[in-house]
Amino acid sequence: MEGKNWTAVAEFVLLGLAGHLHQKIAIFFLLLSVYLITLGSNLGMITLIWLDPRLHSPMYFFLSHLSFVDICFSSSITPRTLCHIFAEKKSISFVGCAAQMWFVGLFVAMECFLLAAMAYDRYTAVCKPLQYTLIMSPWVCVQLVMGSYAIALINIITHTALTFSLPFCGPNTINHFFCDISPLLSLTCVDTWINNLVLFVLSGAIGVLSGGIIVVSYVCITVAVLQIHTAHGRWKVFSTCSSHLAAVSILYGTLFFIYVRPSSGSSLSINKVISVFYTMVIPGLNPLIYSLRNKEVKEAFKRNVERKHFLIGG
């Protein structure tokens, strides 16, 4: 390779979401609507948790951070994707691509760890109710969130440094609508087995660690629920976990479908469609899941609406 003349890549070209003009118009307004719903619902959830004292508990502390991560996650991809839909050349600078990959990787890992922290919170509430306030103290909750950010940062800094230290000599076209690690590695001029190994090890570690915490927590919760003699008691415990289980199932099911299923000739096109779902749709679904399936959130919303009407009427 020493005899080759490599031309440094200054920008990348994203193929984006292809289609005819009428399809692009439909996709644009659909994604714009989803993005506005994502911003509105997550900001609403954060505001509701901040305003209502009854939601000042560990579960909703984690949920507020999850809403913040969802806003940042969606905002790191959707605005540029919307701008690129009608653009002739969907280019992104070298630095811009590195920044987008950094933010996407950070917030995906954060989403996984926050869901794991929420699973541990549910386990403590169900299996150790008498020690709950001691175990899930405010300082412990802060440590769990800070630890999640720290691990996510270490993970994505490693991937970003390894990926963008490689030489890119062309072509510079990424078959995706955002800068993802795997498509970028396919454009380098050198063997990327070390990068792929690190990607596999770190991604696997994050998946096993966060997923393992969730699985073990819910196994313990299931055992505890089976020991409850009344159907009403079992349903009450289950209802406190149903929203979290729905959010976990949607995210991990989508990521599993993308990264674990066998590849095929049409896998890139299918991955684009599924990637739209987990990068743009799921961030807007989480607050809806917690508001529609959570009695405490619905009651808090009613209280704040009634308080607002009272103040206006007064």
User: Could you tell me the pTM of the whole model?
Assistant: 0.87
For residue 239, which of 297, 285, 301, 287 has the smallest C-alpha distance?
Answer: 297
In one-letter notation, the amino acid at residue 111 is E
pLDDT tier for residue 304 given thresholds of 50, 70 and 90: low
Query: In sequence order, what are the residues at sequence separation of 6 or more whose Cβ sits closer than 8 angstroms to the Cβ of residue 84?
Result: 14, 16, 90, 177
Q: Is residue 3's pLDDT more than 50?
A: no
Kindly state the tokens that stand for 170: 């062309």
Q: Is residue 266's pLDDT more than 70?
A: no
> How far apart, in whole angstroms, are the C-alpha atoms of residue 195 and residue 188?
11
Q: Is residue 4's pLDDT more than 60?
A: no
Q: Is residue 264's pLDDT more than 60?
A: no
Question: What are the DSSP E strand ranges found in the chain?
Answer: 11-14, 91-93, 173-174
For residue 291, which of 30, 118, 67 has the smallest C-alpha distance?
Answer: 67
Q: Is residue 310's pLDDT more than 60?
A: no
Residue 173 has what pLDDT? 87
pLDDT digits (tens, 9 = 90+) for 54-109: 888 898 899 999 999 999 999 999 999 999 898 888 899 989 999 999 999 999 99
CATH of domain 11-313: 1.20.1070.10
DSSP state of 168: B
pLDDT digits (tens, 9 = 90+) for 10-52: 789 988 876 788 888 998 999 999 999 999 999 988 988 888 8
Residue 232 has what pLDDT? 75
pLDDT digits (tens, 9 = 90+) for 150-181: 999 999 999 999 999 888 877 888 888 899 88
For residue 145, which of 173, 101, 109, 175 has the smallest C-alpha distance?
Answer: 109
Query: In sequence order, what are the residues at sequence separation of 6 or more whose Cβ sits closer than 8 angstroms to the Cβ of residue 169?
Result: 4, 6, 7, 8, 9, 189
Kindly report the backbone phi and psi dihedral angles of residue 138, in degrees, each rounded to the nearest multiple of 5, phi listed first: -55, -40
Q: Where are the domains of the chain?
A: 11-313
Q: Is residue 265's pLDDT more than 50?
A: no
DSSP state of 293: S
% pLDDT > 90, the chain:
38
pLDDT digits (tens, 9 = 90+) for 213-227: 999 999 999 898 888
Residue 138 has what pLDDT? 93
Residue 246 has what pLDDT? 84
Q: Is residue 148's pLDDT more than 60?
A: yes
